[in-house]
């Protein structure tokens, strides 16, 4: 009996140790814990920008995979490198307004680094994908060739990624990775302070007559030098009537034309120019129609609205690393196939019949007329709801796919932000409201 108890205790200790290993997190200070990690502009003009990067602290979470202890390295305000199998280090893209064929040069002016030992960075994994019929299992993959190289990855903390065109404005994207990793020596190279100058070969252009005030306001938000560079993008005097783009394109099918026309009339009363096109659609005709509308409108249009579900107005089907999914994003990107920055705001009213379309449009108009908030209490915008489909094919009480997990993650965030957030889940034609 005593032997059995000892075995149980040892088993519980081993389980507890495994739990601790997989959940242990620590904060590493490289300078001052009270300071925030930051990117700040030092100087800029129309052919260059100099900025400073500071890394004062980061977190490392231990995780065990196939008997190997790894660390997930996190840095505030950074995402992660997403190339599957390579070290999943903190990464941040930096957008710059430059010029056509900019021939970017990147110069490190000064640096202060620290080497930290005994780290094995967890590789970037293929992210779980929420599709009906697909299990939400994270697939561990590691690039063994890269992990066997005795050198820091990536080789530089700042590097050029690509050039794109945003509503006629040339944009260059640089990638920032202020923490590098050597998998053989198991070392991190942390750039505590880094001053970098990025230059391009010709000045930001000022002859783009079709760039209006609306576009200039947008680029101030997408580019680190947008506020400064925007003043060189248009030679015309500021016209207050251009502060907001007026052009809206609505695509739908004949059975929803009435709802589309009602929405269009409402926006016309607000001063927008709206075009409604109701016909049978394919992905090819949608793509051609939107591009023709964009290219023939000057200044460039601002909005694409689709009324109808996938069967009526099909989204573009994309294949990415084995995942196949529909999206409307690429109807609004006007560059090549690698362009993922939308040149128009887009939205879809996903309805299945004319009644649903009319009801939805009525809600939109009512909301914009403030009917829903005129008599509401001050907490109106703090009331939310999450809804999803709970799929449990083997009836074990656990959702088989990732839909509900995504809802729960969103709900946890909202609750922490002091939102009221009941849950509305459906399973096997039964709806239940969970508080």
* Tokens 């409402």, residue located: 266
Q: Which residue's structure tokens are 């505030």?
A: 76
Given a contact cutoff of 8 angstroms between Cβ atoms, the answer to whether 114 and 185 are in contact is no
> What is the spatial distance between Cα 218 and Cα 434, in angstroms, rounded to a whole number?
40
Residue among 88, 52, 84, 96 at smallest CA distance from 72: 88
Whole-number pLDDT of residue 127: 65
Mean pLDDT by 10 residues, the chain (435 residues): 42 38 58 68 93 93 92 91 94 91 93 96 77 58 96 96 87 95 97 96 64 77 85 57 70 97 95 94 96 88 94 89 82 83 93 96 88 64 87 74 85 93 78 47
Q: Which residues of 306-336 are buried (b: 16+ CB within 10 A; e: fewer)?
A: bbbbeebbbbeeeeeeeeeeeebebbbbbee
Give the phi and the psi of residue 308 in degrees, each rounded to 5: 135, 155
- List the one residue out of 165, 166, 168 whose CA is nearest residue 299: 168
Q: What is the pLDDT of residue 428?
A: 64
User: 366: exposed, middle or buried (C-beta count within 10 Å: 0-12, 13-18, 19+)?
Assistant: exposed
Chain Cα centroid distance, residue 430:
33
Instruction: Note the pLDDT of residue 8.
Output: 40
The 8-class DSSP code of residue 152 comes to -
Cα 92 versus chain centre, distance: 12
d(CA 409, CA 403): 10
**Dist. CA 376–CA 89, nearest whole Å:** 46
| pLDDT reported for residue 137 | 53
Question: Domains, the chain, ranges and CATH?
Answer: 24-204 (2.60.40.3800), 245-368 (3.40.50.10390), 380-434 (no CATH)
Under a CB-based contact definition with an 8 Å cutoff, are residues 200 and 104 in contact? yes
For residues 149 and 183, is the Cβ–Cβ distance under 8 A?
yes
What interhelical angle do 257-269 and 354-368 show, nearest 10? Answer: 10
Both tokens of 344, joined, read 């128009």
Q: How far apart are CA 32 and CA 396, in angstroms?
A: 49
Q: Looking at residue 234, what is its pLDDT?
A: 57
Helices in 190-334 by DSSP H: which ranges? 213-222, 226-229, 257-269, 283-296
Residues 6+ apart with CB under 8 A from 75: 37, 55, 58, 90, 178, 179
């Amino acid at each position: 009996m005593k032997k059995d108890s000892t075995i149980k205790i040892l088993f519980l200790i081993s389980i507890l140790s495994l739990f601790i290993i997989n959940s242990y997190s620590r904060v590493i200070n490289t300078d001052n814990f009270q300071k925030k990690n930051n990117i700040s502009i030092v100087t800029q003009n129309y052919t260059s920008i100099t900025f400073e990067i500071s890394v004062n602290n980061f977190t490392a979470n231990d995780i065990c995979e196939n008997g190997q202890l790894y660390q997930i390295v996190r840095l505030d305000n950074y995402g992660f490198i997403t190339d599957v199998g390579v070290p999943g280090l903190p990464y941040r893209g930096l957008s710059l307004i430059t010029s056509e064929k900019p021939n970017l040069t990147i110069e490190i002016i000064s640096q202060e680094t620290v080497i930290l030992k005994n780290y094995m960075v967890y590789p970037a994994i293929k992210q779980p994908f929420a599709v009906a019929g697909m299990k939400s299992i994270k697939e561990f993959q590691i690039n063994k060739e890269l992990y066997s190289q005795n050198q820091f990855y990536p080789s530089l903390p700042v590097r050029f990624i690509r050039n794109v065109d945003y509503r006629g404005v040339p944009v260059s994207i640089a990638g920032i990775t202020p923490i590098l990793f050597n998998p053989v020596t198991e070392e991190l190279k942390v750039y505590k302070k880094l001053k970098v100058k990025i230059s391009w070969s010709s000045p930001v252009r000022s002859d783009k007559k079709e760039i209006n005030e609306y576009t200039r306001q947008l680029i101030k938000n997408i580019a680190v030098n947008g506020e400064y560079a925007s003043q060189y993008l248009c030679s015309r005097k500021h016209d207050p009537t251009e502060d907001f783009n007026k052009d809206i394109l609505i695509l739908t099918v004949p059975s929803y034309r009435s709802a589309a026309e009602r929405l269009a009339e409402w926006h016309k009363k607000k001063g927008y120019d709206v075009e409604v096109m109701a016909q049978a659609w394919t992905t090819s005709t949608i793509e051609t129609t939107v591009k023709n509308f964009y290219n023939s409108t000057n200044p460039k249009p601002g909005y694409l609205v689709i009324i109808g579900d996938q069967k009526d107005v099909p989204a573009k089907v994309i294949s990415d690393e084995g995942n196949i999914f529909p999206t409307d994003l690429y109807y609004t990107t006007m560059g090549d196939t690698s362009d993922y920055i939308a040149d128009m705001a887009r939205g879809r009213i996903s309805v299945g019949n004319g009644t649903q379309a009319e009801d939805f449009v009525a809600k939109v108009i009512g909301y914009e007329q403030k009917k829903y908030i005129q008599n509401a209490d001050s907490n109106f915008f703090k009331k939310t709801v999450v809804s999803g489909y709970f799929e449990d094919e083997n009836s074990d009480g656990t959702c088989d796919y990732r839909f509900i997990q995504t809802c729960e993650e969103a709900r946890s965030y909202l609750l922490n932000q002091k939102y009221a957030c009941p849950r509305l889940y459906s399973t096997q034609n039964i709806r239940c409201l969970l508080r």
